[in-house]
Amino acid sequence: MQRVGVGIVGSGFAATLHIDAWRRVAGVEVDVVSVTSSHAAHADTFANRHHIPRADPDLDTLLADPAIDIVDCCVPNYLHATVALRCLEAGRHVVVEKPLTGAFVDPAAVPASAMLEQALSAADDLVRVAAEQGRLLCYAENWVYAPSVEKARRLLAASGGTILRIRGEESHSGTHSEPNKRWETAGGGALLGKGSHPLGAALHLKREEGMARERRPISPRSVVAEVASLTKVPSFAAEPEKFLRTGYHDVEDWGALLVTFDDGTVAEITAGDTTLGGVRNTMTVFASNVVVEMNLNPNTAVRAYAPSPDVLAGEYLSEKLETHGGWSFPSPDEDWMQGYPQEMQDFAECVAHGRSPRSDGGLGRDVLAVIYSGYVSAREGRRVDLSPWFAG
């Protein structure tokens, strides 16, 4: 059995999701060798909790270990490119969480067009260095690997029809990460942090359609977008009790994209930190001869009712759910339904067998091109031409 050594950078929420997924890989011997973090005590605690042999004091120490084949970058958004480039230059394969990178600036002082160019320059550097080093740049877009999205891809391929319209959403009651509330550390708000997921899946499905029909990807041609700060609406601000998280400094808590592809079809993407009831990860594809609905979360595999929140207080139900009372939809395997184990399975197999991942740096780069062009659209109130970023 092939062996793949993994090093993890970061010890927060994403790192916990990822190590659980690495441990579920089958057919490849995955050995999580080490973890490092900017907070040494956090790395030690993480290593002990997850039975990792070593917590390294810094990234250089981790990279000095030849047993590590791939580094999983679970750091805040503004560090993605810095850490990934260091690892690629050290000859390691890399996993990068969404967004691939971004423009980490003061949005009041930098034009949206300049942010677009900065974000894509950083993304293109990552893709280029990975190619030069002969290393894999794996983009951790779990929606691409979610069972419902993969089944939709197969159904659409079997139908042979044309994908006419895609409607996708990711939203919940708000981020629990303080760095995600500031542009300088997050690179954007709900549109980037949440809209990247359904957008990534939509780009993936249209690419697969184009490759199957014409041996070329169907690419985005233009985008129109709108953003808002709904938690700053005066009437909401005056409410004495709040069930939504607040405190967003200079990033939007809601956004929408209307993407037109070069075949004339469209995708409608919505993202928000302003939705109660747990995480809403949904997508519907309207094709010429079939309609496919995907409910990553919530789904009705399990439904439960509790007259009081105390009844199910000791059991995990689903991410971002505000109360355990009333009706709920406890996923029997939430990580599996979201595609986390499947993405790490793909990445491990790619390292072991020398093939390219389904979700790679190119997809991460294209997601940035659409979303940051969306920020240009929202700020300037116009449709933005995407052809300069998708030429060839």
One pLDDT digit (tens) per residue for the chain, 392 residues: 799 999 999 999 999 999 999 999 999 999 999 999 999 999 999 999 999 999 999 999 999 999 999 999 999 999 999 999 999 999 999 999 999 999 999 999 999 999 999 999 999 999 999 999 999 999 999 999 999 999 999 999 999 999 999 999 999 999 988 999 999 999 999 999 999 999 999 999 999 999 999 999 999 999 999 999 999 999 999 999 999 999 999 999 999 999 999 999 999 999 999 999 999 999 999 999 999 999 999 988 999 999 999 999 999 988 888 899 999 999 899 999 999 999 999 999 999 999 999 999 999 999 999 999 999 999 999 999 999 999 76
pTM of this prediction?
0.96
All structural domains of the chain: 3-142+344-358 (3.40.50.720), 143-333+367-389 (3.30.360.10)
Q: For residues 260 and 266, is the Cβ–Cβ distance under 8 A?
A: yes
All residues at 6 or more sequence positions from 109 whose CB lies less than 8 Å from its CB, including other chains: none
Distance CA 342, CA 348 (A): 10
Full strand arrangement of the beta sheet holding 384-385: 291-297, 280-287, 163-171, 266-272, 254-261, 220-228, 384-385
Six-digit token pair at 102?
Answer: 């971004």
Taking alpha carbons only, the member of 111, 113, 103, 57 closest to residue 80 is: 103
Which pLDDT does position 208 carry in this prediction? 97
Phi/psi-derived region of residue 282, left when phi > 0, alpha when psi is between -120 and 50, beta in every other case: beta
| pLDDT for res 392 | 61
